[in-house]
Amino acid sequence: MDNTIRQSRLLTLVLPAVLCTMLWGTAFPGIKAGYAWFHVENHAIGAKLLFAGLRFLIAGLLVLAIGTIRRKPGQTMRLKKSDLPSLSLLGFFQTFLQYLLLYLGISGVSGTKSALYTSAASFATVLASPLLFRQDRLTIRKIAGCTVGVVGIVLMSVHDGGADGFTLAGDGLVILSNLSGAAGNLVSKKIATPQRTASYIAGWQLTLGGTGLMGAGLLAGGSLSFEALNGWLILLYLAAMAGIAFMIWTELLRRHPVSKVAVYNLLIPVFGTIWSGIFLGEQVVTLSNATALILVCSGIFLVNFVPTHSNHEKEGMADETNQKR
């Protein structure tokens, strides 16, 4: 029985969640490369927002197209009027506000630090989820995991210059963006119903959020140079990556307790550090980085991998099974 549970979790949770975080980890160096090819300067706020909005609008349309192809009889990808408030709220937190703050702050933060701050979404979600969902209990193990991960974030934040290594315009905005993402995880779980497929939810929240970002960018006077083919390729990759990852992530939130899914965000620092080192040439092989990564990965183990004989674990599995039905 235990082996069956482990195999099921490996296929339905662990591997898909790892794939999502691996894809999201590439966003940090990808965004910076995109800025370079589209000639977006650090101070060009409008252009940054326009770049973000275009990316997520394309991602949303891609997911809706996939959902249309895969839909079962009776399902539709058309936006229902009754769903507009809930999907707009999700799009606001999970796309508009999260990436508004991220795109504004990321230019002043290294790809490695940006990736580590993403784990803040995990901690906020794990701590807030028990307030909204019965199956997500706040246990000592979860608190310990969050504490260990926070130590890793603090270590990464200040290892080069103590408190001087932290800036509100850079680090602060990236942290706030991830707290918005945490709120998005909770809203996504709350509005998930058998009638709303993952493609429907993810596609429309990306489309609505992306449209909002494009509007904000245009209002701020943003413009992009579309001359470079490499810029288009990066934009299309970032859009496809976001669409696929959000679609899978939304399905995971539908099927599993929020804390058991969100904690995998702690893997984004691992992949973000690797990709930043490969594509941006950042110095990532340091003792402090290695220690921080060990700490955040330890947080995953403490929060998510509880003994199979635990009563809470059995109840959580029962809830997951009921949700799949």
Using pLDDT thresholds of 50, 70 and 90, give the confidence band for residue 49: very high
Structure tokens at 245: 């990852």
Using pLDDT thresholds of 50, 70 and 90, give the confidence band for residue 157: low
Amino acid at site 111: G
Please provide the distance, in angstroms rounded to a whole number, between the alpha carbons at the two ends of the chain.
Answer: 19
Using pLDDT thresholds of 50, 70 and 90, give the confidence band for residue 278: confident
* CB 181, CB 99: distance < 8 Å: no
CA distance 325 to 323: 5
CA distance 295 to 219: 42
* CB 89, CB 247: distance < 8 Å: no
Question: Sign of the C-alpha dihedral, residues 3, 5, 9, 12?
Answer: positive
CA distance 117 to 101: 13
> Tens digits of per-residue pLDDT, 75-99?
889 999 999 999 999 999 999 999 8
> Domain coordinates of the chain in residue numbers?
26-324
CA distance 129 to 317: 17
* CB 209, CB 63: distance < 8 Å: no
Amino acid at site 67: G
| pLDDT at residue number 165 | 64
Of 67, 121, 141, 192, the closest CA to residue 301 belongs to: 141
The pTM assigned to this predicted structure is 0.82
Q: What is the CA radius of gyration of the chain?
A: 19
Of 92, 107, 94, 91, the closest CA to residue 45 belongs to: 107
Q: In the chain, count of helices (H) and strands (E)?
A: 16, 0
Does residue 9 have a pLDDT over 80? no
Instruction: Give Cβ neighbours of residue 15 (< 8 Å, ≥ 6 apart).
Output: none
* CB 302, CB 142: distance < 8 Å: yes
| pLDDT at residue number 252 | 94
